[in-house]
Every structure is written in structure tokens, then in C-alpha cells.
Structure 1
Amino acid sequence: MSDFLLNAGRQTLLLELQEASRLPDRLDESFVRAAQTIISCKGKLVVSGIGKSGHIGKKLAATFASTGTPAFFVHPAEALHGDLGMLESQDVMLFISYSGSAKELELIIPRLEEKSIALLAMTGKSQSPLALAAAAVLDISVAREACPMRLAPTSSTVNTLMLGDALAMAVMQARGFSEEDFARSHPAGALGARLLNKVHHLMRKDDEVPKVTVDANVMDAMLELSRTGLGLVAVCDSAGQVSGVFTDGDLRRWLVRGGTLNDAVSEAMTTGGVTLQSQERAIDAKEILMRHKISAAPVVDENGYLTGAINLQNFYHAGII
């Protein structure tokens, strides 16, 4: 039984791969026309399809929406019972139907023409009603389905998914869609955390910020180190600008050299030190810490005034790893 199952699975994959391997050679002016229609669309891309085509259509609508093209899925039956009202003249419809002769098309196509809505087709039948009515046709035809009975949509749904992805990626790149743009559509994901968070979103603020003034002594700074546990203290002048940092390492080195806790912290601190800008990207700030092989730094505004403090743990908690 195990050999039978493995062979059946492998045969399915080989058949689907064989059919999909023909897709690159099919890309022609119709593909370009479909992509340009979507790029120039001033409204939304509305994806529709029924059955397995509908399931793939939902995925493609989500892919377009997350890569810079406003898009949503409408079920053909729902479209005929009110949802056609969602479509406006500036929209584009991408209809998926292998046969290209879904009954719903008899009523949908005239309504699209009335509203001057451009129709794009993904179909396996180049002479179907859908194909003949479309401004551009994407060929998803297969020589055979991977289903042993040649009935269940298998190879054809793979072709639909792949060709739809190819269209979405071509449009995305033509728009100049960037990682930052993608992150804005995925603010809760790992990429969103990496690219959207600024230092001021993650940093410690107010009483959580370890700080002393330049006229404090080493004892004051040591107590501040202990209070916050950040591993450093920002040493500020009377106006609040950062003059330097005092770290656990500075304390050890100072005492080893014979310094006392009553000495001025300005003598024991690291003058200047590494500071981070509150408005810079968190991922860039983390790289600065890693490059300098330090675990924490004060955060300043554009004028050098202390606004917070941050350490590597703050980045990890935000999912920036």
C-alpha cells in the first residue's frame, strides 16, 4: 500500500509539473496587456470565479492586495444578487473559468459592458464566451488533469495559481513596490516589525531611562545602573543633551584603576559614546548596536537631547531578530 501511495503522489506531481512547465512559453502580448490594464486601473481589481477557480481567485485577490494593487474577491452568484453594485467604471474584473462558459457569465458580461469595466480572462478555452468578451486572455489550458479520472481540477488549478502569481509579481515590480510597501500591508508580521518600527516605538521612556547629570558622582551612576538594569547610564548636561555614557564596564575599569565612588562620573564615563536617533528604523538601530558590539544605547532626538534608551532585549520582544 505504501508503494502505491508514493507512486500515486509522485505521478500527480510529475503531471502537474509537466503542465506547468509549458506556461512560460505562453506569456505573450496578452499577458502584457493584462498587466498594463491592471497597472493603469484607477479603481480596484475585482477577482471572480466559481468552484476551484473561486478558491484560487480568493488567493490571487489577496496576493494582489498585499503587493500594491487594491483587490478583492466577489463570488459570481453573489455578484448577481447585489454585489455587482460594488463595481465601478474605473474597476477591472479578472474572471477565472477553465471552461469560460460559466452560466453566471451570461448575466455578468453585459453588466460589465454597461459600466465600461475592463474584463480580463483566465481560461483554458480560447474561443469561449469569456475569452471572446475579454480585453486580454491568460491561457491556463492543460493537456490532461493530474486526476487519474481526468475529472478533478488539479493541473489546471496549479496553472491558474502560477499564472496568477506571475501576473501579480509582474505588476508589483512594474509599480516599484518595495519591502517597506509590503510591510505596510503586513504590520503585524515579522517583516512589518522589522521595517515599520522606529526606535521611539520600542525604546524605554521616562523613569525607565537611566540617566544622571555631568555633576553626579560615580556612586550616583552606579545606583542608577542598579535601578534600571540596562547596563548603561546616559550622562547629560544641564540642558539634557547627552555628553557620554557610563556602563558596567566603565565602573569596573574605573575601580580597577584606583578610582573611587565619590569621583565625578564625568571622569569615569565614555565621552560621546554610541547614541541612536529616535526616528531611525529599529532594524537599522539594532545593526548599529551589533556592529559596535554593545547591548544598549541612549536614544536622542535630532538635537542630541535624551528622549529614551533601548537595549537588544527591546528589539527581540518586538520580533526584530
Structure 2
Amino acid sequence: MQVQSLSAEHSLALARQVLEIEADALHTVSTRLDHGFADAVRLILACTGRVVVSGMGKSGHVGSKIAATLASTGTPAFFMHPGEASHGDLGMIAHDDVVLALSNSGESSEIVCIVPLIKRRGAKLVAMTGNPASTLAREADAHLNAKVDKEACPLNLAPTASTTAALALGDALAVALLDARGFSADDFARTHPGGSLGRRLLVHVADVMHGGDALPKVGRDATLKAALFEMTKKGLGMTAVVDADDRVVGLFTDGDLRRTLEHALDIQHAKIADLMTPNPKTIRADELAAAAVEKMETLKINGLLVVDADNRLVGALNMHDLLKAGVV
């Protein structure tokens, strides 16, 4: 194999050609969708077991991703290597499962040879192939047509457009199942607790706010000096101003302090009620922390007071708290 020197222009032209071929392939697969797709959705929805995804080579890599997408969107699934299936892994399949088998040719020997064993176990078979006349397609209870006219590889050999089509068809299947199950954002969060998406959907204001003795607050009759001591002690860059019933009447922040210092005043005796921001923006403890982020960004503020249904102070948080929680 001789390495050739390619110009930047040629490389870009080739890359665009690959993307155009694969985009055309996806459009073609879309136009070929038929009742087989609906049958596959119906079989999987009726499945009381799991979806066992299998494929050899590049189809196997695509199958692994499809299994992961199904599992994370409400359809229990896992990948089984077809080469290992004949050496014990067929025990993974039960009669109430659905097997999703991928093979572009539909004739992959490792897949075809285990089809009778899958059927003997009573599991349903959904095939995804690029050849509707293939053995695998004929034996399947439902067939997904992933046929492409050509590969993006200049030699028309390396699996490129065909694997892209299979991957996209797997996504279409997962989304159709997600929709049919009424899978919600909360459901998604429960399958992604370790990621940033999960944190945005699971972490509530109550989980990150400061409360109790760590909550900065002063009465409406407090002096500016007392408010500054409270802000320094609690370290949130702000303090709530409350009435006798602990209802929020105002907020005083570092920004308010800077603006206050632009004017001559008696810090010892100035009243916080004259300097605070009245009726500040607040949030409830049961709201998502992501909602607090959105509110802060929209209002261009760095902190929020947390109140209950009666506007009583229960907490406070700032952007730093949200950053530490991984919500931002």
C-alpha cells in the first residue's frame, strides 16, 4: 500500500462526498420504511423479557450502540456476540425475549446458524439487513430494511453508508418505542444518574441550597453594618431581609453594597430596609436546580433566595453551589 499525498482541497471534497452519500442513504432508508418497522415495534412492545441485540463485525459494533440506546430509553436490552452464542451465550436468550439481529448481507454465518436455536427457544426474531431476500430476512418475524445503494468508501467495500443507515434505523426504533411507552424526562434521568443530563433532571434546589444556621438573613430593622457582618459570616455574597414572620421582604447583595458605597452615607446607622432590593426574585425548594440556573442566567444574577408557599425563607443558593453540584 502506497501512501499518497492529498491536497487539502481534495480531502475536503472527498469528505463532503462521503457525507452526501451517507445522507442520501439515510433518505433512501426512510422511503423504504414499511409495515416491517411497525411489526418490529409491536413485537418489542409486547416483549415481557429483554431485547437481545446481536451482530458480527461492524454490524456488531452498531448493535452494541443500539442495545445501549434501547436500554437507556425504556427498553431493557443487551448485546450478545454471535460468535460466543454457540459456545454458551445462547443461554442469555429466554422464550419471552426478542432478538434483534443485524447483518448487512443477511447471510452472516455466525448469525444464520443460531436462528434455528433462537426459534427453538421461543424468542421472536427481528432482522435488520440490507437484503430483504436474504436468509435472515426470510426467517425473521419482522424485517427492517437497511439497504443502501452504495457505500461511501470509494472502493464500495468498507461498511460506511450501510453502518450509518443501520445505526440511524436503530435510533428510529428506539425513539418509536420511547414514544409508545410514554418515556419521560424523569425516566431518562433515572437511567442517566451519573451524567450531566441526569444531574440536571434529578437535582432539586433543596439538594444544593444553604439552610439553617448557614442561611444569611437579617430583620428589616437591621443596620447596614449588621447586614455586612451577616454576609461576611455566611459567605454567600448576599443576605435575605425578612419580616417578623420570616417572610422575605428584600435582598442585599455584594452588588448592592458596591452601588451603596458610591454614595456618602453613615454605614453605622444606615438601615438595610432603605438599601435592599425589595421583593426579590425567589425560587421554591422543590424546583429543579436547572430551573435555578436558567432563572439566574436570564436575570443576570448570581444568587437566589428559596421560599415556601407563604414566601417564608427556607434557603439560599448561588451559582457556585450549582457549579459544585455539576448542574451548570
Deviation string, structure 1 residues 78-106 (Cα, Å, up to 9, x no partner): 22222222222222110001222232345
Deviation string, structure 1 residues 206-252 (Cα, Å, up to 9, x no partner): 4432123567544322211222342322345666x334334142796
Single out whichever of 195-204 and 149-158 deviates more from structure 2. 149-158
CA distance, structure 2, for counterparts of residue 293 and residue 105 of structure 1: 58
Partner AA of 2:305 in structure 1: P
- 2:96 aligned with 1:90: yes
Deviation string, structure 1 residues 158-180 (Cα, Å, up to 9, x no partner): 22122222222222233333334
TM-superposed CA distance for 1:76, in Å, is 0.8
CA distance, structure 2, for counterparts of residue 209 and residue 236 of structure 1: 12
Q: Do 2:248 and 2:312's aligned partners in 1 also have CA atoms closer than 8 Å?
A: no
Instruction: Output the TM-score relative to the length of structure 2.
Output: 0.82
Q: Do 1:251 and 1:268's aligned partners in 2 also have CA atoms closer than 8 Å?
A: no
TM-superposed CA distance for 1:254, in Å, is 11
Cα distance change of structure 1 residues 262 and 106 upon mapping to structure 2, 3 Å threshold: same
CA distance, structure 2, for counterparts of residue 163 and residue 244 of structure 1: 56
Pairing 1:40-79 to 2, within 5 Å after superposition = 40-79=46-85
CA distance, structure 1, for counterparts of residue 303 and residue 23 of structure 2: 51
Instruction: Output the TM-score relative to the length of structure 1.
Output: 0.84
SS of equivalent residue, structure 2 residue 198? helix
Which structure 2 segments of 5+ residues have no match? Answer: none
Deviation string, structure 1 residues 247-289 (Cα, Å, up to 9, x no partner): 1427965996966635765676556543321111112233344
Cα distance change of structure 1 residues 138 and 220 upon mapping to structure 2, 3 Å threshold: same
TM-superposed CA distance for 1:50, in Å, is 0.6
CA distance, structure 2, for counterparts of residue 151 and residue 270 of structure 1: 69
Deviation string, structure 1 residues 9-49 (Cα, Å, up to 9, x no partner): 45544444443331111101111111222233222221100
Alignment match, 1:116: 122
CA distance, structure 1, for counterparts of residue 11 and residue 223 of structure 2: 76
CA distance, structure 1, for counterparts of residue 286 and residue 199 of structure 2: 15
- 2:185 aligned with 1:179: yes
Cα distance change of structure 1 residues 216 and 148 upon mapping to structure 2, 3 Å threshold: closer
Alignment match, 2:250: 245
Cα distance change of structure 1 residues 295 and 148 upon mapping to structure 2, 3 Å threshold: closer
Among residues 167, 171, 176, which one is paired with 1:165 in the alignment? Answer: 171
Deviation string, structure 1 residues 109-136 (Cα, Å, up to 9, x no partner): 2332233211100112223221122111
Cα distance change of structure 1 residues 138 and 308 upon mapping to structure 2, 3 Å threshold: same
SS of equivalent residue, structure 2 residue 138? helix
Alignment match, 2:268: 261
Q: Do 1:232 and 1:245's aligned partners in 2 also have CA atoms closer than 8 Å?
A: no
Alignment match, 2:6: 2
SS of equivalent residue, structure 1 residue 104? helix
CA distance, structure 1, for counterparts of residue 148 and residue 283 of structure 2: 57
Alignment match, 2:303: 296
SS of equivalent residue, structure 1 residue 96? strand
Partner AA of 2:51 in structure 1: L
Q: Do 1:242 and 1:272's aligned partners in 2 also have CA atoms closer than 8 Å?
A: no
Among residues 266, 281, 284, which one is paired with 2:288 in the alignment? Answer: 281
Single out whichever of 132-141 and 172-181 deviates more from structure 2. 172-181
CA distance, structure 2, for counterparts of residue 107 and residue 260 of structure 1: 86
Single out whichever of 295-304 and 112-121 deviates more from structure 2. 295-304
Q: Do 1:183 and 1:196's aligned partners in 2 also have CA atoms closer than 8 Å?
A: yes
Partner AA of 1:247 in structure 2: F
Cα distance change of structure 1 residues 307 and 81 upon mapping to structure 2, 3 Å threshold: farther
> Size of the alignment, in residue pairs?
320
* 4+ residue runs over 6 A deviation: none
CA distance, structure 1, for counterparts of residue 13 and residue 232 of structure 2: 65
State the Cα RMSD in Å: 3.2
Q: Do 2:56 and 2:110's aligned partners in 1 also have CA atoms closer than 8 Å?
A: no
Alignment match, 1:233: 239
> Aligned residues: percent identity?
43
Q: Do 1:235 and 1:245's aligned partners in 2 also have CA atoms closer than 8 Å?
A: yes
Partner AA of 1:162 in structure 2: A
Which structure 1 segments of 5+ residues have no match? Answer: none
Partner AA of 2:216 in structure 1: P
